[in-house]
Amino acid sequence: MNVNSKLGSGAGQKFYENQCMKAVNQCIGRAVRHRNDFAAVLLLDERYNRMSVKNALPNWIKRSLKTCEYEESFKQITQFFTRRK
């Protein structure tokens, strides 16, 4: 018996999405350990633009989350690190 038949349609998908976002949040947390740390984290998949995925991110990440094209992303990263010199 699979998870979807036991818990309802989409339950398996939701389970795997939750596991994935737990790992993503752990990785982000390893890059930024405390208030005076800073890092640029690139989430390079169109799925990170879904509301359900964005809502699984911590609020402090959601506030600075930006969706942009490839070239624009590097411009934004350059500006980010320039401001912190």
Q: Mind listing the pLDDT tens digit for each residue in 22-72?
A: 999 999 888 888 878 888 889 988 888 899 899 999 898 888 888 888 899
Radius of gyration for the alpha carbons in the chain, expressed in angstroms and rounded: 16
Tell whether the model's pLDDT for residue 1 goes beyond 60.
no
Q: How many domains does the chain have?
A: 1
Tell whether the model's pLDDT for residue 80 goes beyond 70.
yes
- The whole-number pLDDT of residue 20 equals 92
What residues make up the domain containing 57?
3-83
Dist. CA 61–CA 12, nearest whole Å? 26
- The whole-number pLDDT of residue 39 equals 87
- The whole-number pLDDT of residue 33 equals 82
Tell whether the model's pLDDT for residue 3 goes beyond 70.
no
Question: Any alpha helices (H) in 1-85, and if so which ranges?
Answer: 3-7, 11-31, 51-54, 59-62, 70-83
Dist. CA 83–CA 69, nearest whole Å? 21
